A = this chain, B = another copy of it.
């Protein structure tokens, strides 16, 4: 696969992305491009990469690959584009890219639907005691339970005669939050509350448009306290980082309804794990569904959240669907190919803010 013909632009890719996507590159190998693939089925070795990146025009990376000055120097001045198969780019030194006038491609928006699906799934699982009840069956304990009217009884996400109004609360109200909200409408959600970055401007006319489009009684930006107090389900779908660290803390959890559930499908840093353990143990809330946990993946079997039966924990699988990952892989490769042939990249980041001339 690897050749060193200098007349063709060289593309280095740090993972074999499988038979459905790789032909996008490999079918052109030795024709209009050269292709070098790390095909070991494990994260790309740094030494190998530093060696093989030399002379490349495009570098396709994953979130496990650190792209820094050292790597860019090893690549050489002909490098035109770094394309990452990820939404975020914390692993990439954007200042170094901007300084060298190297383009950056990423894969925004693609995981929206997959993460919205997981958010709805977690809200249902947390309300309906999915973990406790599955464990009973899997351990062979079902026969020990005599049927009784309120056996295994959970909380209902859907509206009901006794709870005709249902309020969904969102910490962060970007694409994924709105895709989640859309999915909740036929469950009988009547009102939507959300909090946003305090520096962003309120947008009541957009909010009332969303309410109209989705046939909701209201979509309102509120403070955290109101969100906690009034929501039947709270979704944490905001960016990580210092500003949002522990935004769901003891104070927040204590204000939530005892019948409510908490879902986090964004970053573990937003939820104070100790506070959540307390909330579950003492019944401040009904349950929790987490796709992310602070300190992941180093979550041991005796982690206090793992020991809470009403806490559902998934190993960060929000975007992990075949459909979404193939689309991300395809987009990452196309970003690289378009850039080296001077065509418009389908999804590039504007780095002009980072270049200090």
A interface residues, Cβ below 8 angstroms from B: 15, 17-18, 41-43, 62-64, 85, 113-114, 116-118, 120-121, 124-125, 127-131, 133-134, 136-140, 142-143, 145-163, 182-183, 185-188, 259, 296-303, 306, 312-315, 317, 320-329
Is the Cβ of A128 less than 8 Å from the Cβ of B183? Answer: no
Return 29 A-B CB contacts under 8 Å, by A number: A17-B149, A41-B148, A62-B149, A113-B156, A113-B159, A116-B158, A117-B124, A117-B128, A117-B156, A128-B317, A130-B314, A133-B315, A133-B317, A134-B313, A136-B315, A137-B315, A140-B301, A142-B298, A143-B297, A149-B328, A149-B329, A150-B322, A151-B320, A153-B321, A153-B325, A154-B320, A154-B321, A155-B323, A163-B323
Smallest beta-carbon distance A340→chain B, Å: 22
* Cα–Cα distance between A303 and B324 once the two chains are bound (Å): 34
* Cα–Cα distance between A148 and B129 once the two chains are bound (Å): 30
Residues of chain B within 8 A of A125, CB atoms compared: 121, 125, 130
Given A121-B130, A315-B133, A315-B137, A188 contacting B322 (CB threshold 8 A): no
Residues of chain B within 8 A of A146, CB atoms compared: 42-43
Residues of chain B within 8 A of A321, CB atoms compared: 127-128, 153-156, 160
* Cα–Cα distance between A182 and B184 once the two chains are bound (Å): 11
Is the Cβ of B314 less than 8 Å from the Cβ of A113? Answer: no
Is the Cβ of B145 less than 8 Å from the Cβ of A297? Answer: yes
Residues of chain B within 8 A of A312, CB atoms compared: 134
* Cα–Cα distance between A346 and B344 once the two chains are bound (Å): 65
* Cα–Cα distance between A188 and B156 once the two chains are bound (Å): 23
